[in-house]
Amino acid sequence: MQSTMMSSPLLLTGMLEHAAKLYADVEVVSVRCDGSRHRCTYRDVHRRARQLSAALQGAGIANGDRVATLMWNEHEHLESYFGVPATGAVVHTLNLRLHPEELAYIVNHAQDRFLIVDEVLLEIFEQIRPHVRFERVFVVDHGGRKIPEGCESYEAFLTQTSVPPNYHYPDLSEEDAAAMCYTSGTTGKPKGVLYSHRAIALHSLSMALPDHLHFSRCDTVLPAMSMFHANAWGFPYAATMMGSKLVFPGRNLQPEALLDLMAIEQVTLTGAVPTVWLAVLNAMDCHPGRWKLAPGLRIVVAGSAAPESMFRRFDQLGVRVIQPWGMTETTPLATVCTLKPHMENQTEDERYAIRAKQGLASPFIEIRSVDESGETPWDGVTTGELHVRGPWVTNSYFRLERDDRWTPDGWFRTGDVVTIDPEGYVKLTDRVKDLIKSGGEWISSVDLENALVAHASIKEAAVIAVPHSKWQERPLAVIVLKDGCKVCDSDLRDFLSQRFARWQLPDAFVFVDKLPHTSTGKLLKSKLRQQFNRWEWDPKTHATPVRTE
């Protein structure tokens, strides 16, 4: 028997119209490259997104066409988030930190027709221009630069098309693609992921749940993650859906500038990768009491596992840290870590141990852990690769017919090694490719890294596997110290031995000025493994490295 409920598609246009009708006067703030702040409202975003939609239709953009963006976090980018999909086209956010050759590959693979580019990023565009074929290029100009030959003004493009009051969006299906991102490409060529209107809508609803990130009309939201990376984790969509005030930081994510902005705008919810928040913590340590942050501020930390020490340090400052987990392929958030009610009765250390996990699966997201023998038990001890499936998990890559990342029964193989405890909490122990196998036993590089950054002298740490003649592999720790700090190997071994068995400890510690990161802020361990692939272990001690370069 069929239900009698109305069939209403889940569309981004519905989000946009909802915000314009109910939250028209709520502010959207953008920081310009000169440090000035541009202020508008959801009424303005709605009007300009509709103008963009109508202008793109008039320019011949059709359902399924890709419109690329090369932009920082700013209100014009938000307009494209909604205005491009409103035509039935796909907004394709380009990672401006990629090498030009890789960026050109992505543009050509995606077959992008149009480009919207920030004037301050024209240099990047000019580097890829000879290698790509955009039909039209629109420059978001703030009056500071001359628009290059062959390009057009974004503002002029918007205003040349009048939008009648009875303007209707084209007929869309909730299964139509609305947005597109490419994976980071750390293992092979980047792969494109298409997000449907339905996937984004459901993902946004999950982010608003009280036991998840709890987006609210009472919030002021600052997406400090990049809008070109996995749709800024869905923050702009969820904020618009709920009517939250939005604050876009532009290009400047230096800790002092970020803290100034958070204090001035009284931000209540923000998010970024761990490296951003570690720098913020260090700034707050250096300037105690300088910033009056909003009471109850929530910081979302994702991209790589956050150390337990980060939770403790922010708690001392009255700031709550929430850790989710996700990937480009999962729209991106699939789990969020918040405590169950009975856990409030546990000890402080027990609660911190749980909060540092990646959390519980979102509603409608299924998870399992699988090893070579099959599905592993939820005992919090047995490790396996995390598999996920659900309504906002992609089932294929764009223009790639076959890929072994999906099982025959439809589960996505994430490549993350995890444990799942009896309560259902996922704990990331490593990436499959980053696990260290020593003498037949596995060592988690993530656990060692998180322990190391809790040391008072350490700013950042990475642990990698180095080949070993006797033990197959042994862990090598690569460390960045805080300014003015010194520490010796024996002190670090003593520090780690409180939590790890002796055989799990790194055999050597290398001190460097900085660690390599991906364009989205993750540790680039593949580069470290390449950098240290010519180290050999002293056969007498099996501990002291001998550099053979």
Pairing of strands 333-337, 360-361: antiparallel
Pairing of strands 472-481, 458-468: antiparallel
Check 76, 79, 329, 385 and give the catalytic one: 329
How many other β-carbons are positioned within 10 Å of the β-carbon of residue 70? 24
Which residues, 6+ apart, have CB-to-CB distance to 366 below 8 Å? 388, 389, 390, 411
Check 442, 473, 520, 527 and give the catalytic one: 442
Per-position DSSP letters for 441-466, written without gaps between them: EEE-HHHHHHHHTTSTTEEEEEEEEE
Residue 325 appears among annotated catalytic residues: no
**Rounded Cα–Cα distance for residues 276 and 512 (Å):** 19
Cβ atoms of residues 50 and 163 within 8 Å: yes
Strand segments, DSSP code E, in 338-487 are 360-361, 366-371, 374-375, 384-389, 412-420, 426-431, 436-438, 441-443, 458-468, 472-481
Cβ atoms of residues 544 and 206 within 8 Å: no
Pairing of strands 112-118, 66-70: parallel
Closest CA to 328 of 127, 183, 506, 134: 183
Cβ atoms of residues 413 and 387 within 8 Å: yes
Q: Reduced to 3 states, what is the DSSP secondary structure of residue 286? A: helix
Cα dist. 106→100, 109, 259 in Å? 10, 5, 34
**Rounded Cα–Cα distance for residues 176 and 325 (Å):** 25
Cβ atoms of residues 274 and 307 within 8 Å: yes
**Rounded Cα–Cα distance for residues 364 and 236 (Å):** 22
Residue 437 appears among annotated catalytic residues: yes
Measured in whole angstroms, the distance separating CA 245 from the mean position of its chain's CA atoms is 20
**Rounded Cα–Cα distance for residues 54 and 84 (Å):** 9
Check 292, 340, 437, 470 and give the catalytic one: 437
Check 41, 69, 87, 183 and give the catalytic one: 183
Cα dist. 468→125, 338, 449 in Å? 45, 40, 20
| Alpha-carbon dihedral sign for residues 513, 518, 521, 527 | negative
Phi, psi of 178, rounded to the nearest 5 degrees: -115, -30
Cβ atoms of residues 24 and 43 within 8 Å: yes
In the chain, the amino acid numbered 328 is: T
Residue 383 appears among annotated catalytic residues: no
Closest CA to 378 of 323, 431, 326, 418: 418
Residue 101 appears among annotated catalytic residues: no
**Rounded Cα–Cα distance for residues 391 and 330 (Å):** 9
Write out the catalytic residue numbers. 183, 329, 437, 442
